[in-house]
Amino acid sequence: MSRNRLTTTAGAPVADNQNSQTAGPQGPVLLQDYQLLEKLAHQNRERIPERVVHANGWGARGTFTVTGDISRYTRADLFQGLGRQTEVIARFSNVAGEQGAADAERDVRGFAVKFYTDEGNWDLVGNNTPVFFVRDPYKFPDFIRSQKRHPRTNRRSNTAQWDFWSLSPESLHQVTILMSDRGLPQTPMNMNGYGSHTFSLWNDQGERFWVKFHFKTRQGHAFFTDEEAKAVIGEDRESYQKALFGAIDAGQFPKWTLYIQVMSQAEAERADFDPFDLTKVWPHGDYPLIEVGELELNRNVDNYFTEIEQLAFSPSNIVPGIGHSPDKMLQARVFAYADAHRYRLGTHYEALPVNAPKAPVAHYHKDGAMNFFGHKTGNPDAFYEPNSFGGPVEDPSVKEPPLPLAGDGDRHDHRLGNDDVSQPRALFELFDTAERERLCANIANAMDGVPDEIVARQLALFDRVHADYGDGVRQALAARGRSARKAAE
């Protein structure tokens, strides 16, 4: 086999890749050994800042195929025509653990899909849960801090976690999902994905509809108990990577069905809950699932770093026919995600091959670190806009219909009058006896070492959801040798 000649990064051939250049066989090494210097310097620069959240992830490439006609709701090009296919790349992740954290930890999972559409990239960046812990982005950094390492002990803290949750009743719904069976899926294939936020679709007539996106697993839900997960982690800390990569390598391509729920503006005004509140679902009975398509992951990446670590999703990536909504959390993410990537990957992160659209790109951004793509206007004389030199121009035909907004610019108390318990109650009532027991046991496990007053405050919240919920956790705590009486007793 003829092999390529090894070169330096500057392309000069390398004569010896085994031995440093030294003054005699014992050394010392010579500073002029630019090959050695280059090797060492590159190794020092192999790491980039990891994501503050969702650092530990697994992903693959695949295809999205339209199976249901939603053209009455959206003009989005990728949804036009049954059988229409769009190339995608997906990334799943744990939230709290850093890179190298064990995969099979109880945590929410990120579920993000980049659709390389003919009108630009659409990123649906959600989770495996339909809701979230907080509804106001002002709380997000505090929430994440409570999940991360304690500044003094440098260990994750059950106390911080339950302190924050017990002081934030809006977290009840997501806490219940996290502590239930679906809080610890066996593999990324065995979970649903949700856009979580309310988004919008708009059609050629300029009508806007509010929507939720749901990916339902075709592999079935499968979970680990806390005990099982300990054994899995003891055997293999990379169990998700092994399962996803292995399945695709073996030709067993995981699939999900994409559905939407749709709500008109009139329905949104009538709803007895806030449809833009990220701690709430839209009940299926009132807003039925409408089938849209099939997501299939069918190709492993060749290079984890360039294709998964540098893969950058942002809810700011929408395409004509898809829009945002008044959801406060969504709006903050529209800023924060792209900002995070500019910080960790650089200004031109969307020009990296994995992030670059398959659709033509034409913009006037110029210069900046690592600009390797030159002009994106088609003509060096067209470097500002408007210009007379044939540079790209706006296209009013893709103008979004206006958002129906009205308001007073105040800091409204997001907790005032909000019902934080009915939806977690509906979920608790879906669980059979064994699921309830596992839920309560998982909570009791996670309360290990948490001070009594914090446990009591959280139990009072569970009591408000369902009497059996609070009592179930008390029993699970008692089984672990902790007594936690009802406040009224």
CB of 198 to ligand NDP, least distance (A): 11
Interaction of residue 132 with ligand NDP, rule CB under 6 A: no
CB of 114 to ligand NDP, least distance (A): 23
Q: Binding residues for ligand NDP, how many (CB under 6 A)? A: 18
**Would you list the DSSP string of 328-379?**
HHHHHHHHHHHHHHHHHT-TTGGGSTTTS-SS---------TT--S--SSSS
User: Residue 324 catalytic?
Assistant: no
Distances (CA, A) of 71 to 115, 205, 290, 320, 357: 17, 11, 12, 13, 23
The residue whose two tokens read 């960046």 is 125
CA 392 to chain centre: 33
Token pair, residue 79, equals 């949804």
At 95 the three-state DSSP class reads coil
CA 407 to chain centre: 30
Q: Which stretch binds ligand NDP (CB under 6 A): 77-85, 176-184, 251-259, 303-311?
A: 176-184
56 contacts 97 by C-beta, under 8 angstroms: yes
Exactly one of 126, 130, 188, 472 binds ligand NDP (CB under 6 A); that residue is 130
Q: For residues 110 and 357, which CB has a smaller minimum distance to ligand NDP in the complex? A: 110
3-state SS track over 254-302: CEEEEEEEEECHHHHHHCCCCCCCCCCCCCCCCCCCEEEEEEEEEECCC
CB of 117 to ligand NDP, least distance (A): 25
Q: For residues 180 and 239, which CB has a smaller minimum distance to ligand NDP in the complex? A: 180
CB of 423 to ligand NDP, least distance (A): 4
Interaction of residue 182 with ligand NDP, rule CB under 6 A: yes
Interaction of residue 435 with ligand NDP, rule CB under 6 A: yes
**Would you list the DSSP string of 170-195?**
GGHHHHHHHHSGGGSBSSGGGS-EE-
Spell out, one character per residue from 401 to 430, where the chain touches ligand NDP: x when CB under 6 A holds, - when not.
Answer: ----------------------x--xx--x
Residue 240's H or E segment, with its range, is helix 239-249
The residue whose two tokens read 């670590």 is 309
CB of 135 to ligand NDP, least distance (A): 15
Burial class (CB in 10 A: 0-12, 13-18, 19+), 36: middle
Exactly one of 192, 317, 325, 442 binds ligand NDP (CB under 6 A); that residue is 192
Q: For residues 301 and 426, which CB has a smaller minimum distance to ligand NDP in the complex? A: 426
Q: For residues 427 and 455, which CB has a smaller minimum distance to ligand NDP in the complex? A: 427
User: Residue 54 catalytic?
Assistant: yes
Q: For residues 170 and 350, which CB has a smaller minimum distance to ligand NDP in the complex? A: 170
Q: For residues 192 and 325, which CB has a smaller minimum distance to ligand NDP in the complex? A: 192
Interaction of residue 271 with ligand NDP, rule CB under 6 A: no
The Cα 179–Cα 176 span in angstroms is 5
CB atoms within 10 A of CB 358: 13
Interaction of residue 101 with ligand NDP, rule CB under 6 A: no
Q: For residues 137 and 275, which CB has a smaller minimum distance to ligand NDP in the complex? A: 275
Question: What type of residue sits at position 311?
Answer: L
Interaction of residue 330 with ligand NDP, rule CB under 6 A: no
Which is the catalytic residue, given 56, 94, 121, 127?
Answer: 127
Q: Which stretch binds ligand NDP (CB under 6 A): 28-36, 102-110, 282-290, 452-460?
A: 282-290
The Cα 72–Cα 128 span in angstroms is 28
Q: For residues 113 and 465, which CB has a smaller minimum distance to ligand NDP in the complex? A: 465
Evaluate the omega torsion of the peptide bond into residue 275 and state whether it is cis, within 30 degrees of 0: no
CB of 212 to ligand NDP, least distance (A): 6
Question: What residues are annotated to the active site?
Answer: 54, 127
**Which residue ranges make up the site for ligand NDP (CB under 6 A)?**
130, 177, 180-182, 192, 216, 281-285, 423, 426-427, 430-431, 435
